[in-house]
Structure 1
């Protein structure tokens, strides 16, 4: 699918972008364009990939339509990863979040249609399901814009991939917990009842690529993910990284933060199907016949809601996940 193709990755210097780039290079694409705002991150990534001639680094912002339109010229596939993601920052600066996560997504859609991109893959989040914070709301808007965009073009298809927390990505909790434990400090936790979905970065990218290959356009693919209580995750880290008992400080839930995350809401489950052992697929409420005919043989999901506190790992499985992600070395 990607051999000898031109691929654009927005927000490509982040954790997801670098792992995605590493995987896409194995397909021998013609060119991978890394589109982001930070020149220092681009220089660092260029060096990390040994100045690979397949990579083209483009300074730009998804808020800037002219920059996005130029970056999508002659592109076959777009992976849209660029977003403001930190919940407290998005709560404090909603106007900036709106510009990047909603207007930026609109710019990607418009530019991709103009330049006849084959497929646009939007990477979304569990916070887009039943959103209570501004970040989740903007990502929910982004999903709806992407799905609706399929009615705007006969040449470009748009799909969404929805997942939970990926271990070790920029700003994620596990590296912070690990650092606090290794320094002998109290581990800060917003609530001992909190649960979250987790996946390793390599698993996430594999699922992202698979879904991007099989999708027609109009689907939201949901990654099946394990979940755990955050306090259990901290306990496992402490048992493996420290000879002393780990002290946990409950600092209270931050503005816009949920106790439990949702990957499929009760409003989406009636039109959600079990695609495979790794995915669910949410179909739009007004899909095309082409879309429905492809999935008519699949079973409906058995749950009313897919929520993180319903699928909890024990500490043994948490330890296995952390080892796989490289956090217990």
Structure 2
């Protein structure tokens, strides 16, 4: 019956509402007559006539007040107000007619009629709403909201009007809110969550703490992790304030909440020093780090921002995003999208000269460790020579400041990517000693959350697909930082450089990747499948370290580190080469790259103060393809027996004829 009524067209539902109001208003006047007239039949005809006259007028008032446009399942204060004013209008008309017909006890009659009509007409709507809510809530997931503050109340109200979640309980740390009721929902203590889950058959926990610090959110998540339910979170306060997300747009718990690291407010003086009112150029502007640098730079109001990028699509995407940002914030910034590669010095120099660039942030690099291992020459060409060409172009174009985005993998590297970045640092340190036109510095930090290749989105996708979650080693640890925080610190560090400085960002506590995967599985409401829990949901599979990968990363090569004016930026004094020595090394490295002599490239990188510990056989795809399969197997055995020699060395010493070109 209810389903049939709900399926009726709106016009039919309105006619039914009019009919129901007619019945209840008629019942109300009859009950009022019985209660106030002591069965005096002489008055009945006059009362009935007066009511018949006022009934159409009452229904007209209801219509004008929009009562019949209100959707029953969303009946609220407006609809009940329409009922109240409609009944008061009806009572006033009846009072006037009763005076005309000289009805006895008319005051009591009108008051009783108004009260009964208000209860029946308003009550039937509330009852219908309650029945519809119960019907709809039966299909919804029952949820508990952690946080009964303003955001929690707004979330509960939004969910009540939605079709997915039904809030059945609040919990809050505030003792004054506990044992109270908000929007008809009881508020309990966080200590009672396990009991509430069983008692109310809760299927989700929603975190409504957008303004809480990450440290506080981490404490809450530590408590919730052991519960067998998924934990979702409302958007952060910044997203809610700027209108980019609604409060009911629930999302998975952010990894930065698990880390519990609160960003430090930036120092505007440092942020603006190299940017405000100047021409700024970002190489690799379409990458994960480069694009965030551009977003942060825009907010510092440069005169012009030059986006230098090799990928056409990446350049288009970041240009469109920044255009929208400039328009929305009413900024006057000239945006210049330039396609080009950092391996062409003439292109870099012409761009810097044409636009009068003051500051360069060099983010262009090949950074995926395995891919650079598979493509050694291109990795070195892009990371080492690309940095050198960009630096030389900056000197010739009169650029004031040049900031290199480096990596923690440059410290005692075990892979070609890290070694190439360390060599790029050495290039800039040597140039800083050789000339004074351009101020060079480099900023070194670890993994950033959400960058291309980050493990976090990979883990989340693997969990959604049912696993397994792949981790290279059970003991591997990494440092993590959000991209916005890293970009802000890079901009501030660049302002403190005096020439050849190596800045190191404070990355906080290192994170064990296997534990990170385990926590993500738990917070998505699943259980890890292992020997102790053979019937769990998601398996963590250890795949072994990839070529050039090490268990832990470092940020400092030596102990010569000093504090700066920013609490999360340190400066390191490290060994470097003079420019004549560096120039000679680069010339030999260029020759080795032209000959595709991977063994010589590795040896030359080792000869520099890079502390390059490259003990594995080379994974370069072209080198491997140049070696016959049978010979390859024999050489792998030999290389494994003597891990101090790269495979290419073994190849040459064994055959003496194999030429790799």
Instruction: Pick the TM interval, shorter chain.
Output: 0.7 to 0.9
Deviates more, 1:40-49 or 1:110-119: 40-49
Q: Give the match for residue 518 of structure 2.
A: 235
Deviates more, 1:157-166 or 1:39-48: 39-48
- Report if aligned partners of 2:443, 2:503 keep a CA contact under 8 Å in 1: yes
SS in 1 for 2:555: strand
Taking the aligned partners of 2:431 and 2:424, their CA distance within structure 1 comes to 11
Relative distance call for 1:258 and 1:285 in structure 2 (3 A) is closer
1:31 maps onto 2:332 in alignment: no
- Report 1:314-329 matches (<5 A): none
Match of 1:91 among 373, 381, 387: 373
Q: Give the match for residue 644 of structure 2.
A: none
Pairwise CA distance, 1:241 = 2.0
1:282 maps onto 2:572 in alignment: yes
Relative distance call for 1:134 and 1:103 in structure 2 (3 A) is same
Pairwise CA distance, 1:210 = 1.1
Match of 1:80 among 329, 338, 362: 362
- Report if aligned partners of 1:182, 1:242 keep a CA contact under 8 Å in 2: no
Match of 2:549 among 250, 257, 263: 257
Name whichever structure is richer in helix by fraction.
2
- Report if aligned partners of 1:218, 1:283 keep a CA contact under 8 Å in 2: no
Taking the aligned partners of 1:84 and 1:285, their CA distance within structure 2 comes to 24
Q: For residues 203-223 of structure 1, give each alpha carbon's deviation from its aligned partner in whole angstroms, at most 9, with x where no partner exists.
A: 111111111112211110000
Relative distance call for 1:162 and 1:286 in structure 2 (3 A) is closer
Q: Give the match for residue 218 of structure 1.
A: 500
Deviation beyond 4 Å, 4+ runs, structure 1: 284-287
Q: Give the match for residue 315 of structure 1.
A: none
- Report 1:43-82 matches (<5 A): 43-50=316-323, 52=326, 54-73=334-353, 74-82=356-364
Taking the aligned partners of 2:511 and 2:496, their CA distance within structure 1 comes to 30
What is the TM-score of this pair, normalised by structure 1?
0.83
Pairwise CA distance, 1:286 = 7.7
- Report if aligned partners of 1:159, 1:215 keep a CA contact under 8 Å in 2: yes
Q: May I ask how many residue pairs the two structures share in their alignment?
A: 284
1:192 maps onto 2:484 in alignment: no
Q: Which runs of 5+ in 1 are unaligned?
A: 288-329
SS in 2 for 1:46: helix
SS in 1 for 2:414: coil
SS in 2 for 1:214: coil
- Report if aligned partners of 2:293, 2:487 keep a CA contact under 8 Å in 1: yes
- Report 1:166-181 matches (<5 A): 166-181=448-463
Whose RCO is larger (CA < 8 A, sep 6+)?
Answer: 1
Q: For residues 153-195 of structure 1, give each alpha carbon's deviation from its aligned partner in whole angstroms, at most 9, with x where no partner exists.
A: 2221100100000001011111111111122120011101000
SS in 2 for 1:188: strand
Match of 1:21 among 294, 305, 328: 294
Taking the aligned partners of 1:172 and 1:286, their CA distance within structure 2 comes to 31
Pairwise CA distance, 1:244 = 4.0
SS in 1 for 2:372: helix
Match of 1:248 among 512, 537, 540: 540
Larger Rg: 2
Q: Which runs of 5+ in 2 are unaligned?
A: 1-272, 327-332, 529-537, 578-661
Relative distance call for 1:59 and 1:187 in structure 2 (3 A) is same
Taking the aligned partners of 1:242 and 1:69, their CA distance within structure 2 comes to 54
Pairwise CA distance, 1:284 = 4.4
Match of 1:160 among 442, 452, 459: 442
Name whichever structure is richer in strand by fraction.
1
- Report if aligned partners of 2:563, 2:571 keep a CA contact under 8 Å in 1: yes
Q: Give the match for residue 280 of structure 2.
A: 7
Taking the aligned partners of 2:576 and 2:384, their CA distance within structure 1 comes to 22
SS in 1 for 2:422: helix
Pairwise CA distance, 1:17 = 1.4
What is the TM-score of this pair, normalised by structure 2?
0.42
Pairwise CA distance, 1:23 = 1.0
SS in 1 for 2:323: coil
Q: Give the match for residue 146 of structure 2.
A: none
